[in-house]
Amino acid sequence: MKRLQYEIVEWTKGNSNILGIDEVGRGCLAGPLVLGGVILKKEKLLTLQDILTNLYTQNNAQTLMDKKKPQLLPKVEDLTADINIQNYYKIKDSKKLTEKQREELSQFIIDNAKAYAIVEISPAEIDKLGMSRATQKAFMQVIAQIRTKIEVINMIFTDKFAIEGIKKSQQLNILGGDNLSMSVAAASIIAKVYRDNLVSKLSEQDKYACYQFHKHKGYGTALHKELILKHGPCDIHRFSFEPIKSYKK
């Protein structure tokens, strides 16, 4: 399975506890940067891998016997009644899921992960530190939280970004990691759901209602920029980001 390829390599080395980390809200104009960290249960993922391996083997054999009628792969729901295994199979890049799917999978991941952590860096801190340093701070906070729950972290997977202060041999920085590693994908899902809910609820407060955060989640959409120009930036906007940086009353 493509989304387990990196995990399997580490498992064969005896590395069971793989921490996937991903960030959400990096380019937003408002709201925090949020990082999620997840260690999934190896045993469940191996069960899923075995099911899919058997499936591909059977399908290839059938196709060879009757090339005129290639067999379509059945859905994972048809292969196992184990709802947990079905849900693991659904974990992928949060951007490729609907809001409802993300919500359901986020709760599943939180309930079933071996360990998880969610960290947020405020807009004011982002302005003070800059995005690079803010991200590094969040990385270390995620790792620190996980270490209170898991004695040993064997390997850390990230989506592209390297973690300063962690040996290169103890991390793997995967370009497109949220699409290629289930551990990173799981982290992206819980981070995305947490941040979207947090920012959306701001619309319920009178002081923020005019910005309609529930519609754009703080991203730099045309609507959001229009509302900034109309009402001016507020305390949860990132003043080091354009067009807020150049905003004049």
- The verdict on whether residue 235 carries a ligand-binding annotation is no
Residues linked to residue 155 through DSSP beta bridges, in sequence order: 18
Nearest partner of 108 among 100, 196, 18, judged by Cα: 100
- The verdict on whether residue 23 carries a ligand-binding annotation is yes
- The verdict on whether residue 206 carries a ligand-binding annotation is no
Rounded to whole angstroms, the Cα distance separating 14 from 67 reads 40
Residue ranges of the binding site for a divalent metal cation: 22-23, 159
Residue ranges of the binding site: 22-23, 159
